[in-house]
Chain A
Amino acid sequence: MEITVLLFASVAEKAGTRKLTMPSEPGDTVERVRDRLLGRFPELASSVPTLLYALNEEYAKEWEPVPPGSTLALIPPVSGG
């Protein structure tokens, strides 16, 4: 099973992609998936201090587990309105 990762706005531009899949690993948390993603896209490191995360369309903390089949979104500071 895989994890789907969604990227938006500044983060999508830095990575050069809006959507990708990664293999799921036992014990995956938001933080662990994020760190594997940083290995693949080191240019995202500068975004991390202000990033929020969403798991299956709901805000999630870094320690929350990421089950196989989940969709994890990286949410840079929002600016709607």
Chain B
Amino acid sequence: MLIRVTESELQPDEAIAAVQTPASGAVNLFLGVVRDNNLGRSVGYLEYDAYPAMAERVMREIAEEAKAQFGLEDCAVLHRTGRLEIGETSLLVAVASGHRAESFEAGHWLVNQIKKRVPVWKKEVWDNGEAWVEGPESLGLQQAPATMREG
């Protein structure tokens, strides 16, 4: 099970090789990439902060849960930190399974759980300012009074 928080570029080939087994009939690869806009605003680049030791621990928990829940052959979760330019890959999730349905379902589930639970943060940097993003799906915002979740 390949789990990693790193400042280095994420390599899809490495993740695919890490998860694929002879019993795998499907390998599903998800790349989260840096978009040049968010909420109608032009984004210059993103700066990622993380609590690396805990992030890897939580990523491993989520991956173990996915493996058991969906009966996967294996899966990999890698998150990049530091400054990322438009088009670069910030998140890589690879899932290998016997058949395609569970590889799609597990990939979707994994990404949703990562956005809720893994201690990683992105800062958007614009031409005229910057702001830390608070993920709408994050457990922290989910616990807050409804009035704080708007916007």
Instruction: Give the B-binding residues of A (Cβ under 8 A).
Output: 6, 8-10, 12-13, 49-52, 54, 57-59, 73, 75-81
Q: Which residues of B contact A76 (CB under 8 A)?
A: 121, 132, 134, 140
Extra contacts, 5 of them, besides A9-B123, A57-B53, A76-B134 (Cβ < 8 A), are: A8-B119, A9-B121, A9-B132, A50-B143, A76-B121
Name the distance in Å between B28's Cβ and chain A's nearest Cβ: 16
Which candidate, B7-15, B96-104, B108-116, is the interface stretch facing chain A? B108-116
The B interface, classified by DSSP as helix, strand, loop or mixed, is mixed
Of B91, B121, B123, the contact of A78 (CB 8 Å cutoff): B121
Interface of A is mostly: mixed
A78 CB contacts on chain B under 8 angstroms: 115-121, 135, 138-140
A-B pairs under 8 A by CB, number: 97
Q: How large is the interface on B (under 10, 10 to 19, 20 to 34, 35 or more residues)?
A: 35 or more
In the complex formed, the residue of A with least CB distance to B53 is A57
